[in-house]
Amino acid sequence: MRFKLPFGSKNGRGVRERLDGATDSAVNGVSSLISHVGSGRLGIVLAAFLVVACIFMLRLIYLQVIVADTYSAMASESRTVSFDTTPRRGTIYDRNGLVLATSVDATTIYANPSEVTDVDGEAAKLAEVLGGEQKDYIDLIKRKKKTFVYIKRQVDNEVADRVKALDLDGIYFIEDTKRTYPNGAVGGQVIGFCNVDGEGITGLELQYDDVLRGTPGTYTAEHGLDGIPIPGGVHEETAAVDGEDIVISLDIKLQEVMEDALKNGLQRLDGKKGTSLVMDGATGEIYACCSVPLMDPTNMAESEVGSDQVAAITQAIEPGSIFKTVTCLESIKAGVMEPETVIHCPSVIEANDYEVTDAHPRPDVDWSLRTIMNKSSNVGISLIAGEKLGFNKLNDAIVTYGFAERTGVDYPGEAAGMVQDFDNWARIVGYNVSFGQGITVTPLQMTRFYAAIANDGVAVQPHFLLSMPQTGYKPLYGCERVCFDTEAMDKTKSILRTVVTEGTGKAADIEGYEVVGKTSTAEIAEEGGYSESHYNLAFTGFIDNSSSKLVCYVGANDIAYESSVTDVFKAIMSNAVEQYNVVTE
């Protein structure tokens, strides 16, 4: 039996002691021989010969017995190549079966630097075919102590064939796959992207990485000097297990329409950031979702900071006047207001040393709830919340409609929103919350609330995943009835209809359909107050009394003047009407 023991260990000292003993015996034997031969020259020569022979014998024992395993392992390592093999990652399909992300055949090129015979020459040829600088490849292949180093991973097969034709010493090839995104930037933020190791980094590629990735395989083999596997040598290969496909709710055609409409709208507004979302209120399926700036998973090197996330899901903002619909609905449910109930609306009201005014100066007026919503009056909705409804009921509604918690959407990094603990509400806080300031929510949370109104009071969990075709798995998503008062919801929808026909949302109307919704021009919080020169614009709405329960949110951030995004909503929903053959009921 052979032993591989370090001399620094206890057992190693025992080996050294045995070697020392053997050496002493050899020396004693030589001394004894000299005493018999005598002190002549012949004795000296013979003694010297015997000493050298003993040293060689001991060295042979050391190499053959003591460190044989170590040297054997070093020799094996110098000619062994070992690496993981990449499984084919599952394909992502949109709701209509169109490919959003898939893996295609590719080739990974690697080198055994110890076999490279002309470093400079081979590096120059590799740079000519693969791109880059000669010195980059020199740095890789001059590592003579290495037996495996990646030259370039996931190369197109046509390019790899050109490298193969060069017949370079020490350059080898592995069958591989690489991720491709046929639609480029369209839907890129939702789909996400993978790194070169096939790991999901953002979006649904990350969310469902454990499903899509599969299981890597292994490859280990001993190669001879010519790079050919040694017959009978170590050769282990475990097949990779491919990942599973998924079908998601995204409609890539509507997604492209949304992205174009949002980009055009922001250009008109001279804005750089915005977000949009379309969700089916009946199912919770998200048909389209994006933020500007967009992300192109095929060109991540030029992606802007923050473009890899859908802000409608991952960023909470003060919603502004689209939140007034919450106060409006609750006041009708509580029986304290009807659409035509009139209250006195002064030009300004005060609370806790703060003033609340409308966006534009006006005299004291008497307005109905419908007019307050049509004109988006901060003063009117504040008085309804504080004097008619009660802030406690408004706070209860915030909890009931899910603004105090995440939606649970299957997308990484969902934000939660924020509202002060009700025990800490001053009157000015209650006023502000009633018209969407002093509270933060995500656009997705806001969309879910409007979707519940469109869906007769039932809120459905927003989601992307529809199915996993190979196993036939179809997830079930929860729903909850958050409003039982259908009459109050009908009255609220009638008010939101006149917001579009008579109020601030006129540009959102689609001929032949009953568009309902609410606009918002929210001030932006800064340094303990609010900016008086920049705004977050939004519109949320749906088509009432139709075959569709699609709800659309559009937002534009940090706009330098008061305006509207209703034209963006109209562009998106007009396409949806045509694409899904929406009809009135």
The verdict on 446 and 571 lying in the same domain is yes
Beta-sheet pairing, 458-460 with 529-544? unpaired
What is the pLDDT, as a whole number, of residue 143? 75
Contact 448, 407 (CB under 8 A): yes
- Does a structural domain hold residue 487? yes
Boundary-marking domain end, from 78, 106, 125 = 78
Contact 324, 436 (CB under 8 A): yes
At 31, phi and psi to the nearest 5? -60, -40
Q: How far apart are CA 220 and CA 81, in angstroms?
A: 6
- Kindly state the DSSP code that residue 504 receives in the 8-state scheme: T
What is the pLDDT, as a whole number, of residue 66? 64
Which are the contacts of 535, defined by CB distance < 8 A and separation ≥ 6? 521, 522, 523, 524, 558, 559, 561, 562
SS3 content of the chain, % helix, strand, coil (to 5): 40, 25, 35
The verdict on 337 and 372 lying in the same domain is yes
What domain range is 184 assigned to? Answer: 83-248
- Does a structural domain hold residue 585? no
The verdict on 286 and 382 lying in the same domain is yes
The verdict on 401 and 367 lying in the same domain is yes
The verdict on 231 and 305 lying in the same domain is no
The verdict on 292 and 402 lying in the same domain is yes
Q: How far apart are CA 366 and CA 383, in angstroms?
A: 12
The verdict on 289 and 437 lying in the same domain is yes
- Does a structural domain hold residue 46? yes
Cα dihedral: 361, 366, 369, 371 (round 10): -50
What is the pLDDT, as a whole number, of residue 478? 95
Which segments of 80-134 are extended strands (E)? 80-85, 92-93, 99-111
- Does a structural domain hold residue 3? no
- Does a structural domain hold residue 4? no
What is the pLDDT, as a whole number, of residue 79? 56
The verdict on 256 and 238 lying in the same domain is no
Question: pLDDT tens digits, the chain, 585 residues: what are they?
Answer: 333 333 334 444 444 444 455 445 544 554 554 455 445 666 677 777 777 777 777 666 655 666 556 655 545 555 566 667 778 899 999 999 999 999 999 999 999 898 899 999 999 999 999 999 999 999 899 876 677 899 999 999 999 999 999 999 999 998 889 999 999 999 999 999 999 888 999 999 999 999 999 888 777 766 555 555 555 555 557 878 899 999 999 999 999 999 999 999 999 999 999 999 999 999 999 999 999 999 999 999 888 988 999 999 999 999 999 999 999 999 999 999 999 999 999 999 999 999 999 999 999 999 999 999 999 999 999 999 999 999 999 999 999 999 999 999 999 999 999 999 999 999 999 999 999 999 999 999 999 999 999 999 999 999 999 999 999 999 999 999 999 999 999 999 999 999 999 999 999 999 999 999 999 999 888 777 788 788 999 999 999 999 999 999 999 999 998 899 999 999 999 999 999 999 998
Total domain count for the chain? Answer: 3
What is the pLDDT, as a whole number, of residue 37? 47
Q: What is the pLDDT of residues 69-79, one digit of tens each?
A: 665 554 555 55
The verdict on 93 and 73 lying in the same domain is no
What is the pLDDT, as a whole number, of residue 146? 76
Structure tokens at 104: 């295609």
Q: What is the pLDDT of residues 222-265, one digit of tens each?
A: 655 555 555 555 555 787 889 999 999 999 999 999 999 999 99
